[in-house]
């Protein structure tokens, strides 16, 4: 399944991020805890390699608790500050506290020279639909940025004042032009980082069904009250369609409707807490 989506504004966003790094003290990278590797943009890693950063494992309410702990431990080996986070339960004090801790050496160095650094300034980066806008709105307690469960909501960068100690520069979500492998591309598509409008959602759903069954056969059986033993993904899709009444004239299965049901219920956590990239 060939998946690619790299609008022109994404190239400009990377260039813009690079040009504005001098305006910030550090960065906050928002990644999806369901896909902690696939949701990290390698172009951003290269651009940000000389800056300190907080890594936010966002959407922790949608991923498995045990996997969350394992990923936090693993990524903490590579990053000084990794925070497991649920943007639907914002904790601005935690973010400010971790930011001050991350930058304590720089703050002390400035203080020793009689310089008051003023508020810390951080750049928010991440892929589309990683939850950046929800994260910012939650900790700033405003509707500073538009939000939505689809990629491409934030179109321009903007400054947001969190409190006297922390200001944030929001940037649009950005992907990269060539994915390393099909698994990375599929993980991004499953979680909604790539617009469904450019996807073959029926094939994507079949791939998701196969992936979910490899993790736990009970996920689909329990949700849709079906038996999947010995069945191919297309047969499972048909079973779900029959249960949900997703049919066309002539009693044929409406595969597009079934696909949208399964993808939507996975993305919203209705199928349960599921981590696609596992340790």
157 is annotated as contributing to ligand binding: no
For the chain, where are the alpha helices, taking DSSP H only?
8-20, 42-47, 65-76, 92-102, 104-112, 132-140, 182-190, 201-215, 218-224, 233-244, 255-267
Beta-carbon contacts of residue 22 (< 8 Å; ≥ 6 apart): none
230 known ligand binder = no
- Of 26, 21, 161, give the one whose Cα is nearest residue 81: 26
The answer to whether the annotation marks 87 as part of a ligand binding site is yes
70 assigned to a ligand binding site: no
Complete edge-to-edge strand list for the sheet that includes strand 158-163: 81-84, 53-58, 26-32, 120-126, 166-170, 158-163
CB neighbourhood size of 99 (10 A): 24
CB contact at 8 A, 71 and 57: yes
130 is in an annotated binding site: yes
Nearest to 1 by CA among 150, 229, 208, 169: 208
DSSP state of 19: H
Helices assigned H by DSSP within 127-200: 132-140, 182-190
Is residue 20 part of an annotated ligand binding site?
no
Residue 88 is labelled as binding a ligand: no
> Does the annotation place 58 within a ligand binding site?
yes
133 is in an annotated binding site: yes
The alpha carbon dihedral of 16, 19, 25, 31 has a sign of positive
The answer on whether 131 is annotated among ligand-binding residues is yes
Q: Is 60 labelled a binding residue?
A: yes
d(CA 168, CA 26): 10
Q: Which residues define the annotated binding site for GTP? A: 58-61, 86-87, 129-134, 173
Q: Which residues define the annotated binding site? A: 58-61, 86-87, 129-134, 173
């Amino acid at each position: 399944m060939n998946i690619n989506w790299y609008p022109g504004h994404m190239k400009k966003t990377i260039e813009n991020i690079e040009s504005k790094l001098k305006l910030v003290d550090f960065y906050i990278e928002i990644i999806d805890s369901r896909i902690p590797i696939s949701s990290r943009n390698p172009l951003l890693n290269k651009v940000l390699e000389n800056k300190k950063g907080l890594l936010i494992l966002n959407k922790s309410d949608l991923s498995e608790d045990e996997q969350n702990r394992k990923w936090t431990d693993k990524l903490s080996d590579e990053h000084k500050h990794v925070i497991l986070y649920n943007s639907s339960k914002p904790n601005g004090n935690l973010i400010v506290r971790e930011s001050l801790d991350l930058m304590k050496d720089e703050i002390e160095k400035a203080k020793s020279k009689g310089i008051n650094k003023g508020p810390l300034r951080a750049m928010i980066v991440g892929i589309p639909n990683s939850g950046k806008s929800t994260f910012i709105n939650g900790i700033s307690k405003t509707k500073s940025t538009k939000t939505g469960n689809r990629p491409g909501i934030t179109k321009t960068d903007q400054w947001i004042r969190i409190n006297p100690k922390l200001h944030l520069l929001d940037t649009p979500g950005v992907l990269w032009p060539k994915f390393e492998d099909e698994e990375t591309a599929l993980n991004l598509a499953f979680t909604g980082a790539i617009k469904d409008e450019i996807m073959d959602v029926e094939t994507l759903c079949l791939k998701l069904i196969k992936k979910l069954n490899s993790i736990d056969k009970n996920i689909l059986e329990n949700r849709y009250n079906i038996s999947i033993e010995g069945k191919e993904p297309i047969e499972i899709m048909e079973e779900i369609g029959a249960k949900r009444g997703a049919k066309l004239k002539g009693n044929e299965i409406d595969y597009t409707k079934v696909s949208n049901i399964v993808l939507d219920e996975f993305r919203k956590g209705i199928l349960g807490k599921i981590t696609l990239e596992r340790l």
